[in-house]
Amino acid sequence: MNFTTQMDAARKGIVTKEMEIVSQKEKIDVSKLMDLIAKGQVVIPANKNHKSISPEGIGKNLRTKINVNLGISRDCNNIDSEIEKVKTALDMKVESIMDLSSYGKTREFREKLIDMSSAMIGSVPMYDAVGFLDKDLKDIKEEEFLDVIKQHALDGVDFITIHAGLTRSVSKKIKNHDRLTHIVSRGGSLLFAWMELNNKENPIYTNFDKILDICEEHDVTLSLGDACRPGCISDSTDGVQIDELIVLGELTKRAWKRNVQVMIEGPGHMAIDEIEANVVLQKRLCHGAPFYVLGPLVTDIAPGYDHITSAIGGALASSKGVDFLCYVTPAEHLRLPNLEDMKEGIIATKIAAHAGDIAKNIHGARDWDNKMSKARVELDWEEMFNLCIDPKKARRYRDESRPTHDDSCTMCGKMCSMRTVKKILNEEELSLI
């Protein structure tokens, strides 16, 4: 029996090789996985043209996945430097990499990335449009936007972010609204400008069915972008954000009728007490589609430390049902992240995702922590290092400050609680002098 997409296969009762791999990774029965895919509650972004991918599932009852943003820009257009980041990100076992290239030889970088990446690859074709078409934004024709999307699909991109919910109606409210940061989405701002310059409706919205044709042909998952996501905590959960979310819910149903897989993108910047409500709203208005968030950053005052503000929000969001976290680095709002920024962003986001999985009772999530606790009580330093989310940093910290007694550290020395209790329970001699 033939099928077009993972959703189409699931609805026809066909177990694909991608489903089998995800089932094994997640330790979930493949029939349950198929049911979730058929309902749109889980997606497996896996373009038919991406041959090196190791498929991952995103959605209900699965581990929270993380995404890393990479790519070349006008001011930082060294492809070799970005490829080094790709290799490091893959070594750190990220599940997804988004190519946000916006200048120069974007396709050269994208082709290298897709060829070498076992992680799923996402992109924002809107970023590539001006360079790809070699035109000013206002001069781009509607069908030319589709040409860029088609090229990304042919190249093997597994999911694309499109800002189809930014209709003229929503745009009008932005102009008449007292938002502090207006539109902070790069793709959303470009579309807003195109619409205003050409006095036309959003071409991604009006050509949505043609985009579904492309996605269905190549099994590209749609990541419905939130052009109106809040760029500061003052703008969070406002009417503009919710109006766009309602449109995204309508587009989700249209995509599902064509068996096209869908994720919904979300905030953004948001006060910590609003996060749970936003997850509930998204899941309700978008019919349980997987939720993909940037952060949320819970305060606006920490440039240089936004991997921390993001991890705080990301952990809470994940615990309340968010399925996919986009990493944020210390360089957010300041510059293109370098290799070390990327590493810090990955680690912070991995911690947030895992903390959320513990709260969601994802299968096996607590086992990792229990193994670490067992190694600590046994003062098994090698096992602790092996279990660390960042073994190199943990080893470096210990090597920089070696204790007199190897069964302790320089914080407590012979007064180490684990050491004291272990000796007493084993009826060994205890000396603190």
Annotated binding site for [4Fe-4S] cluster: 409, 412, 416
The CA distance from 54 to 68, in Å, is 16
Phi, psi of 293 (to 5 degrees): -120, 150
CA distance 248 to 85: 33
Q: For the residues of 127-178, what is the DSSP string, one character each?
A: HHHHHHHTS-GGG--HHHHHHHHHHHHHHT-SEEEE-TT--HHHHHHHHTS-
How far apart are the C-alpha atoms of 83 and 71, rounded to whole Å? 9
DSSP assignment of 365-388: HHHHHHHHHHHHHTT-HHHHHHH-
Given the structure tokens 């009417």, which residue do they identify? 239
**Which residues make up each annotated binding site for Zn(2+)?**
269, 333
**Is the distance from CB of 201 to CB of 171 less than 8 angstroms?**
no
d(CA 141, CA 135) in angstroms, rounded, equals 10
Long-range contact pairs involving 401-408 (C-beta distance under 8 Å, separation at least 24)? 406/381, 407/379, 408/379
Binding-site annotation, residues for substrate: 69, 98, 127, 163, 185-187, 226-229, 265, 292
DSSP character for 13?
T
Using CA of residue 181, residue 182, residue 183, residue 189, what is the dihedral sign? negative
Is residue 223 within a helix (H) or strand (E), and if so which, with residue range?
Answer: strand 221-224
Please report where in the chains the tokens 């993108």 appear, as a residue: 265
Query: Residue 138 phi/psi, 5° resolution?
Result: -65, -20
The DSSP H or E segment spanning 97 is strand 96-99
Give binding residues as ranges.
69, 98, 127, 163, 185-187, 226-229, 265, 269, 292, 333, 409, 412, 416
Cα 175 from Cα 184, distance rounded (Å): 14
CB count in 10 Å sphere of residue 237: 17
In angstroms and rounded to an integer, the radius of gyration of the C-alpha atoms of the chain is 23
